[in-house]
């Protein structure tokens, strides 16, 4: 079974950036026989600083994502932060993502569930894999069986994360699709002077370790020039490196 792959820039910056990434995802899909889901956020509501770039907002952002879908034929994923965003986002995207910090927000989970779209819940930095049974239950009991879970590391003291890969098999007991967020898991939260730092050189190792623990999907934030990205640059993967890593993960 081909793993789920999710990739794209952290936040919508411009159509030029979105199209650069989308065209590369189409090329990889055609070359490797994958179906990579395009990810980008219309708003990043949990930035470290109030002065940090958040994105174009719901209306403009969803229109930009809709244009990408229409032109490139890619499936889409985006985050929602508030319950009222679920319905309009679901008109455009195929997967609604619940940010890790918000994975216990009942109203948000229920609103996402009621759209009927697949709901990808990112495991909070303060929860175990086993704890995710309760967010899953909220979505399923709201009438939606289509739930994915994503591992993204746990808080390890200040400004650091560590990944306990045992969370992957624990969450596979709850849902059949467990994704490794290979880029957010190498973040250094708040460690770069009012913004998040990171160590992108460890992204391939995170992916390969997750594969060994049975992950059924992989999430990569990618950018044509991560050092100039407006959000999460230090932990994002260089776009040109994505195809090689996806190829590695597809090998038996």
> How much is the pLDDT for 196?
62
- Of the CA atoms within 13 Å of residue 243, those in its CB half-sphere come to 14
Residue in 113, 109, 145, 114 with CA at minimum distance from that of residue 124: 109
Residue 151 pLDDT more than 90?
yes
What tens digit of pLDDT does each residue of 55-79 get? 999 999 999 999 999 999 999 999 9
> How much is the pLDDT for 235?
84
| Per-chain mean pLDDT for the chain | 93
Q: Over the Cα atoms of the chain, what is R_g? A: 16
pLDDT band at 127 (very low <50, low <70, confident <90, very high): very high
**Top-confidence range, 82-86, 229-233, 235-239:** 82-86
Look at 167 and 197; give whichever has higher pLDDT.
167
> How much is the pLDDT for 201?
87
Residue in 67, 196, 51, 181 with CA at minimum distance from that of residue 123: 181
Is 216 in contact with 3 (CB distance < 8 Å)? yes
Least confidently predicted of 50-64, 181-195, 206-220: 181-195
> What are the respective helix, strand and coil percentages of the chain, to the nearest 5?
40, 20, 40
Domains of the chain with CATH codes: 4-250 (3.20.20.70)
> How much is the pLDDT for 189?
72
Residue 194 pLDDT more than 70?
no
> How much is the pLDDT for 190?
60
pLDDT band at 16 (very low <50, low <70, confident <90, very high): very high
Residue 186 pLDDT more than 80?
yes
For the chain, report the end-to-end CA distance as a whole number of angstroms.
11
What tens digit of pLDDT does each residue of 74-112 get? 999 999 999 999 999 999 999 999 999 999 999 999 999
Q: Measured at the alpha carbon of residue 155, what is the angle toward residues 210 and 159, in degrees to the nearest 5?
A: 115
pTM of the predicted model over 0.85:
yes
């Amino acid at each position: 079974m081909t793993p789920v792959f999710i990739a794209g820039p952290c936040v919508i910056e411009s159509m030029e950036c979105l199209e650069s990434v989308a065209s590369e995802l189409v090329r990889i899909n055609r070359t490797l026989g994958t179906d990579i889901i395009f990810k980008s956020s219309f708003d990043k509501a949990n930035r470290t600083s109030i002065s940090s770039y958040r994105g174009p907002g719901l209306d403009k952002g969803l229109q930009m994502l809709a244009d990408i879908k229409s032109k490139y034929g890619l499936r889409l994923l985006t985050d929602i932060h508030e319950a009222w965003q679920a319905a309009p986002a679901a008109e455009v995207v195929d997967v609604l993502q619940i940010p890790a910090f918000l994975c216990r927000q009942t109203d948000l989970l229920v609103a996402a569930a009621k759209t009927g779209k697949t709901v990808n819940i990112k495991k909070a930095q303060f929860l175990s894999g086993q704890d995710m049974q309760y967010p899953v239950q909220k979505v399923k009991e709201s009438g939606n069986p289509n739930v994915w879970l994503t591992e993204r590391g746990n808080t390890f003291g200040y400004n650091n994360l560590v990944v306990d890969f045992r969370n992957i098999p624990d969450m596979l007991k709850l849902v059949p699709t467990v994704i490794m967020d290979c880029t957010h898991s190498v973040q250094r939260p708040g460690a770069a002077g009012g913004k998040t730092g990171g160590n992108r050189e460890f992204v391939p190792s995170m992916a390969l370790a997750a594969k060994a623990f049975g992950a059924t999907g992989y999430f990569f934030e990618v950018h044509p020039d991560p050092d100039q990205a407006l959000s999460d640059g230090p932990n994002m993967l260089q776009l040109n490196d994505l195809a090689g890593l996806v190829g590695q993960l597809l090998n038996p």
